[in-house]
Amino acid sequence: MRALTSLDSMFLAAEDGRTTANVSSLAILDRCDADGKPLTRKDIQELFAERLHLLPPLRWCLADVPLGVGHPWWVDRGGDVDLDFHVRETAVVSPGDRGALETLVARLSAHPMDRSRPLWEVYLIHGLQDGRVALLTKLHHAAVDGLSGGEVLDILFDPTAEGRASVPMPSYRREKEPGQLALLARAIAGVPARQVQTVKAAGRALTHLDQVATLRSIPAVGAAGRVFRRISSPGTGRRVVLDKSLPKAPKLAFNGKITPHRRVALTSVALDDVKAIKNHFDATINDVVVALTAGALRRWLTDQDQLPDLPLVAAVPVSVRAQAELGTYGNRVGTMLAVLPTDEPDPVGRLRRCRTELRAAKERHQAVPPSLMRDANDLIPPILFDRAVRAMTGVAASDALSPAANLVISNVPGPRAPLYCAGRQIHEHYPVSTISDSLGLNVTVFSYVDRLEIGLVGDRDLVADLPGLADAFDKELQVFMHALHESESGPS
């Protein structure tokens, strides 16, 4: 058995019928292998069956502690995983174009998963217009974060069409799930250790409460964080600067309470173009990705007559997983807040400001404990945890308060060589992430071979014209390329 941390449990507690904490990816691949054999649901089931022993999160099932006196536990079901349930098959509606695929993915990715089973699902999707098929993989955020979710996909997908050498399957059996009394006794026995952990967490977290994205929008919390910081570190200039440099986000339509319904839009841009911009303007790929996003948002919001005077603020997930923690799954993440210069009309000026703002955000992030998100959650007793998490996110989405951030932006590096699934080449690979109250728009970027694949997720009621935002990325890239060519040619 494996205990969930308070950070893992947060993603369970956040689910309320409107919010689902599913982390998904969409691979678009050849329908047939080199021999002309079409991909079937049975092929996918056989792939998972032969690699299930390498994928612990796909075997874990939740065991709740009675009366909520402790966080849940993961129980390993061994080989007793019903692949008929987890591996499914469906098709897009005719004519099977990109819009039909996006609509289906929006519905499937946001649907809550059955908590009585391991928290994952896979859908083989037929009927695509170009004759290919798609594979939608859903994992729950309680079991994996972005980095560990990528580790799962690394095991499922192969570097060649021939696959990889099989790893001998160990003889493992399903763990015996403890009864309710045993779980209760275990939770009670763990209370002293948890109290010690809470005291240690309090020392780290109280001085930085205003750095936690879900809390920062609450004025009392922000004030408390600043007071504790000054008390704990009187006279230290760095932390006073930290107080003054925190970005303030404007209120936008997608910073309210979300519904259960989603929109998904998928797009991509050429990685070589992004690298050319990076090299010419002395930036990083992440700088360019954020500048493209800022420009696309500026263009999109201007078209809707909703561009605010203040620049937007992005919540940027950051892995704090140590090298020794690779392969342990669960969540090791933090969040940094970065200003998006959507108020800057010049694309080159926007890129330079993005570079500066991201460096400042990184400095702020490095000034707080890497365990901050978990520490903040450890302050809440498990018996109150679910209600407290929902109350905090609900307050953060209140119309009376400014949001801590306007949207989530993630940039995940991926492979430069094509991957294969069951002998079929994967041509496109899109991330499909999650949204929550006050953060009703998510932009996640995944580099795959020679493209940056961009997955946009928005609330169906709060985000209008998500395809328009997707189209704006290519337009912004062309603006950057024009600026690059003008800069190279110099004055005429």
Q: What is the dihedral of CA 372, 455, 122, 374, to 10 degrees?
A: 0
DSSP 8-state symbol, 417: S
C-alpha to C-alpha distance for 432 and 254, rounded to whole angstroms = 18
Share of the chain above pLDDT 90, in %: 63
Q: Encoding tokens for residue 32?
A: 């047939």
Q: Encoding tokens for residue 418?
A: 């094509």
Instruction: Name the band, by pLDDT with cuts 50, 70 and 90, for residue 223.
Output: very low
CATH second-level architecture of 2-165? Answer: 2-Layer Sandwich (3.30)
Cα 349 from chain centroid (whole Å): 28
Vertex 42 angle, CA 38 and 45, to 5°: 125
Whole-prediction pTM value? 0.89
pLDDT of the residue at 359 = 94
Q: How many Cβ atoms sit within 10 Å of the Cβ of residue 350?
A: 25
C-alpha to C-alpha distance for 204 and 222, rounded to whole angstroms = 15
Vertex 151 angle, CA 146 and 153, to 5°: 95
Higher pLDDT: 176 or 279? It is 279
Residues 47-95 have pLDDT tens digits of 999 999 999 999 999 999 988 888 999 999 988 999 999 999 999 998 8
Q: Is a pLDDT exceeding 70 seen at residue 22? A: yes
Q: Is a pLDDT exceeding 90 seen at residue 461? A: yes
Least confident among 64-73, 307-316, 375-384: 375-384
φ, ψ at 33 (rounded to 5°): -85, -170
Q: What is the mean pLDDT of residues 199-228?
A: 54
Catalytic residue numbers, as ranges: 141
N- to C-terminal Cα separation, the chain: 70
C-alpha to C-alpha distance for 380 and 156, rounded to whole angstroms = 37
Domain residue ranges of the chain, discontinuous segments joined by +: 2-165
C-alpha to C-alpha distance for 449 and 429, rounded to whole angstroms = 10
Q: What is the mean pLDDT of residues 10-16?
A: 93
Smallest CA-to-CA distance from 443 within 289, 332, 288, 331 is with: 289
C-alpha to C-alpha distance for 246 and 248, rounded to whole angstroms = 7
C-alpha to C-alpha distance for 11 and 73, rounded to whole angstroms = 14
Q: How many Cβ atoms sit within 10 Å of the Cβ of residue 154?
A: 12
Q: Is a pLDDT exceeding 50 seen at residue 411? A: yes
Three-state DSSP class for 345?
coil
Smallest CA-to-CA distance from 317 within 462, 205, 434, 416 is with: 434
Q: What is the mean pLDDT of residues 409-426?
A: 95
298 within 8 A of 463, measured Cβ to Cβ: no
Higher pLDDT: 459 or 166? It is 459
